[in-house]
């Protein structure tokens, strides 16, 4: 029985209950994520991190949330009130929505009903996630615009440009997964990886591109240009305070959890146990799979923290250049390769053809890189000896610089 058929039998009350559970998981994992991030970052910087509120400071983010909620809610005089209020709601709601199609367990028993811990299973599940997170960008750009202030506007434009650019690369990296799984449904993609190599092995370049793009997509360090404090104060949420700011905060972390969950689903076999530990999936009536799921999500979340602790923020132009000139072409070429290999496989070509194709690819790549190196070397060569230009230039090797005193002296004579 497929997941779609399984979920199709859910009665209405169970769907509502699962929606509530997903919501609670999102909020709680945000609270935990903030705490974990602060603790782990602190450890990476030889600090302790929050350890006052509750055991090990576990309630720190909860108390921060309560504090935020009790703060004065300021709406600037220049702000467009309706949009100013709607923006954080859009941003937060869309992040939660993307969680609806993430499968967190296999077949389990929930309140006496056979079901899976997944709110709904769309045949275009991953596309739905991309669409919903794109709508989340509206929250960012509208927040920046409606604040009626310069820095939020710049920050909003930056993050929307960033999210849109990296979404292209992200979408392209997913194409290879779709081709391999033969489906866009999250549960189908997980099933295609079950009893098979995980996509992280088969489609490693896609995985790398996805991980880079997901960091860009969520506006996180080292791609957190939208809130570059030194340039833009707080970015798009500069003018926000109190609960509205908390909503943006929530949206950021739910988004991180969502893209991590998607990465786990698409590349790490979702809720399935790692190879060799398949027997654990039957534990607790199938509920144990949720442990594997969150373990995988946490691996990605750790990558987020590790990047943040290690890398400095990129310059905006370098960042955009990287997205458009490196990630997108590379993923396009990779899709071509995957598609060709897939077709060769499906046509039942002998193994030698596949090997020959792979060797040919390697040769082309080597030739391209050596050509690239040669052109690079050429551009580093000094300029040819030539006439001095008519305008003053600093002295350079191979060019005799313009001598202002003799030139103007000649003219006057």
Of 122, 290, 330, 151, which Cα lies nearest the Cα of 230?
151
CB of 165 to another protein, least distance (A): 23
Please identify, using beta-carbon distances, which residue of 109 and 375 lies nearer to another protein. 375
Question: Are the C-beta atoms of 121 and 204 separated by less than 8 Å?
Answer: no
Instruction: Compute the distance between CA of residue 273 and CA of residue 264 in angstroms, rounded to an integer.
Output: 12
Instruction: Compute the distance between CA of residue 364 and CA of residue 375 in angstroms, rounded to an integer.
Output: 17
The reply on whether position 209 binds another protein by CB under 8 A is: no
Please identify, using beta-carbon distances, which residue of 174 and 314 lies nearer to another protein. 314
Please identify, using beta-carbon distances, which residue of 27 and 41 lies nearer to another protein. 41
Write out the binding residues for another protein, residues 22-51 only, by CB under 8 A. 40, 43-48
The reply on whether position 401 binds another protein by CB under 8 A is: yes
The reply on whether position 408 binds another protein by CB under 8 A is: yes
Q: Tokens 């849109």 appear where?
A: 164
Please identify, using beta-carbon distances, which residue of 91 and 221 lies nearer to another protein. 221
Please identify, using beta-carbon distances, which residue of 5 and 410 lies nearer to another protein. 410
Question: Are the C-beta atoms of 268 and 109 separated by less than 8 Å?
Answer: no
Please identify, using beta-carbon distances, which residue of 351 and 377 lies nearer to another protein. 377
Write out the binding residues for another protein, residues 300-329 only, by CB under 8 A. 306, 309-311
CB of 112 to another protein, least distance (A): 44
233 contacts: CB under 8 Å, gap ≥ 6: 151, 155
CB of 321 to another protein, least distance (A): 15
CB of 317 to another protein, least distance (A): 16
Question: Are the C-beta atoms of 75 and 249 separated by less than 8 Å?
Answer: no
Of 163, 125, 357, which Cα lies nearest the Cα of 251?
163
The reply on whether position 109 binds another protein by CB under 8 A is: no
Report the relative pairing of strands 113-116 and 107-110 from DSSP bridges: antiparallel
CB of 333 to another protein, least distance (A): 20
Q: What token pair was written down for 252?
A: 């950021």
Please identify, using beta-carbon distances, which residue of 310 and 370 lies nearer to another protein. 310
Interface with another protein by CB under 8 A: which range of 79-87, 270-278, 292-300, 403-411?
403-411
The reply on whether position 404 binds another protein by CB under 8 A is: yes
CB of 303 to another protein, least distance (A): 10
SS3 at position 51:
coil
Q: What token pair was written down for 186?
A: 């999250």
Instruction: Compute the distance between CA of residue 89 and CA of residue 244 in angstroms, rounded to an integer.
Output: 8
Question: Are the C-beta atoms of 61 and 34 separated by less than 8 Å?
Answer: yes
Q: Which residues pair with 413 in a beta bridge?
A: none
Write out the binding residues for another protein, residues 240-299 only, by CB under 8 A. none
Instruction: Compute the distance between CA of residue 379 and CA of residue 398 in angstroms, rounded to an integer.
Output: 14
**Binding flags for another protein, 376-395, as an x/- string (CB under 8 A):** ------------------xx
Instruction: Compute the distance between CA of residue 231 and CA of residue 225 in angstroms, rounded to an integer.
Output: 9
Please identify, using beta-carbon distances, which residue of 45 and 346 lies nearer to another protein. 45
The reply on whether position 397 binds another protein by CB under 8 A is: yes
347 contacts: CB under 8 Å, gap ≥ 6: none
CB of 398 to another protein, least distance (A): 9
Give strand ranges (E) for 181-267.
none
For binding to another protein (CB under 8 A), which residues are involved?
40, 43-48, 306, 309-311, 394-397, 400-401, 403-405, 408-409, 411-412
């Amino acid at each position: 029985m497929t997941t779609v058929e399984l979920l199709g039998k859910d009665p209405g009350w169970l769907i509502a209950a699962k929606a509530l559970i997903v919501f609670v998981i999102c909020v709680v994992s945000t609270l935990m994520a903030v705490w974990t991030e602060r603790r782990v970052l602190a450890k990476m910087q030889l600090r302790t991190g929050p350890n006052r509120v509750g055991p090990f400071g576990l309630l720190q983010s909860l108390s921060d949330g309560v504090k935020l909620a009790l703060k004065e809610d300021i709406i600037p005089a220049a702000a467009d009130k309706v949009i100013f209020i709607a923006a954080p709601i859009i941003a937060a709601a869309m992040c939660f929505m993307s969680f609806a199609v993430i499968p967190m367990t296999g077949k389990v028993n929930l309140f006496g009903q056979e079901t899976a811990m997944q709110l709904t299973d769309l045949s275009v599940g991953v596309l739905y996630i991309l669409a919903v997170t794109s709508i989340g960008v509206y929250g960012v750009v509208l927040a920046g615009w409606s604040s009626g202030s310069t820095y939020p506007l710049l920050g909003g434009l930056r993050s929307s440009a960033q999210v849109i650019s990296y979404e292209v690369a992200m979408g392209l990296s997913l194409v290879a997964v779709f081709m391999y799984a033969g489906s866009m449904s999250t549960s189908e993609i997980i099933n295609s990886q079950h009893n098979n190599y995980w996509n992280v092995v088969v489609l490693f370049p896609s995985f790398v591109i996805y991980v880079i793009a997901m960091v860009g997509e969520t506006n996180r360090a080292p791609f957190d240009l939208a809130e570059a404090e030194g340039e833009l104060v707080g970015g798009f949420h500069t003018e926000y305070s109190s609960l509205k700011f908390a909503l943006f905060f929530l949206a950021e972390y739910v988004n991180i959890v969502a893209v991590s969950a998607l990465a786990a689903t698409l590349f790490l076999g979702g809720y399935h146990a790692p190879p060799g530990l398949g027997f654990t999936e039957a534990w607790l009536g199938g509920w144990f799979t949720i442990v594997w799921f969150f373990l995988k999500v946490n691996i990605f979340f750790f990558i987020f923290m590790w990047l943040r602790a290690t890398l400095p923020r990129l310059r905006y132009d370098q960042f955009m250049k990287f997205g458009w000139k490196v990630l997108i072409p590379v993923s396009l070429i990779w899709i071509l390769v995957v598609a060709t290999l897939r077709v060769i496989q499906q046509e039942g070509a002998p193994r030698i053809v596949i090997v020959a194709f792979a060797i040919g690819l390697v040769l082309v790549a080597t030739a391209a890189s050596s050509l690239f190196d040669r052109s690079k070397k050429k551009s580093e060569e000094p300029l040819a000896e030539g006439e001095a230009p008519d305008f003053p230039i600093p002295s350079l090797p191979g060019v005799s610089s313009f001598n202002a005193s003799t030139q103007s002296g000649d003219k006057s004579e």
